[in-house]
Amino acid sequence: MLGLADPERSKHAQRFFKTAKGEYGYGDIFLGVRVPIIRQAAKKFKATPTSVVKRLLKSKYHEVRFLALILLVYRFPRSSAVEQDKIYHLYLSNTMYVNNWDLVDISAHYIVGAYLESKDRSVLYDLLRSDSLWERRIAIIATFYFIRKNQYDDTLRISEQLLGDREDLIHKAVGWMLREVGNRDLAVETSFLKVHYQKMPRTMLRYAIEKFEEKERQRYLTGKV
């Protein structure tokens, strides 16, 4: 991976993922390796032992952690129940390394959501109360797996509890998941919005109604629903 580093692309990534002091990605280090190349590497090395993947997940380099997560995502549905349990607990015990929005978004629903499909989901409500922005994002993005199964209750409950969150990246994630609910059942989304849209952060609302007809969007944005 180090041999594929691109200094110019690295500089761009450092800015794009907000790694300056005081920003959400502060301290992250990028090599500048493109995502398609990382995915190709994951396919090539898909048999990498879990013990090695765990070390990769703790790398100081963003793209190496991305690779580790892709390896876990690839492995999870192909694993036994025992191995899935190990992957799930490995993931949740290392959320400090799943520390940017792209890392959460490529992994949370494929691992946490998939694991919890037929299990108690209370861990999601523990995560949404975390001081960690990334753990709160994991909580809502994990529900994308349920949405794809036409199960919306946890998405709606978690969204309601995150209405007052202070972080823009949570607003975007909640709005995105509400939009995904609406893509499958518009009545469910609009029912939620009519109750909560006036309290929703503007970014969250804009993400949630992005696919609405313009006239309907303006009704929500101007508070005339």
pLDDT number for residue 1: 63
Read off the amino acid at residue 188: V
**Cα dist. 204→12, 106, 171, 177, 186 in Å?**
26, 20, 4, 10, 17
Say yes or no: do domains 1-97 and 121-225 share a fold. Answer: no
* Vertex 42: Cα angle to 39 and 47 (nearest 5): 160
SS3 48: coil
Mean pLDDT for all residues in the chain: 95
Could you give the CA distance from residue 224 to residue 126 in angstroms, rounded to a whole number? 35
pLDDT number for residue 112: 98
SS3 31: coil
Calculate what percentage of the chain has a pLDDT beyond 70. 99
Domain boundaries, the chain: 1-97, 121-225
pLDDT number for residue 7: 85
Q: Given a cut of 80, is residue 198 above it in pLDDT?
A: yes
User: pLDDT tens digits, residue range 5-58?
Assistant: 788 899 999 999 999 999 999 999 999 999 999 999 999 999 999 999 999 999
User: pLDDT tens digits, residue range 117-163?
Assistant: 999 999 999 999 999 999 999 999 999 999 999 999 999 999 999 99
Backbone φ and ψ of 106, nearest 5°? -90, -5
SS3 194: helix
Read off the amino acid at residue 193: L
Instruction: Give the N- to C-terminal CA distance of the chain in Å, as an integer.
Output: 52
Q: Given a cut of 70, is residue 209 above it in pLDDT?
A: yes
pLDDT number for residue 78: 95
49-52 long-range contacts, CB within 8 A, separation 24+: 50/75, 50/83, 50/86, 50/87, 50/90
| Architecture of the domain delimited by 121-225 | Alpha Horseshoe (1.25)
Residues in the chain: 225
**CATH number belonging to the domain at 1-97, selected among 3.90.1720, 1.10.10, 3.30.1050, 1.20.1660:** 1.20.1660
User: pLDDT tens digits, residue range 77-115?
Assistant: 999 999 999 999 999 999 999 999 999 999 999 999 999
Contact partners, residue 45, CB within 8 Å, separation at least 6: 71
> DSSP secondary-structure letter at 85?
H
pLDDT (average), residues 180-188: 98
Cβ pair 142, 123 in contact under 8 A? no
Q: Given a cut of 90, is residue 4 above it in pLDDT?
A: no
Taking the complete model, does pTM exceed 0.75, yes or no?
yes
Chain-centroid distance, C-alpha 166: 17
Q: Which residues of 125-149 are buried (b: 16+ CB within 10 A; e: fewer)?
A: eebbeeeebbbbbbbbbbbbbbbee
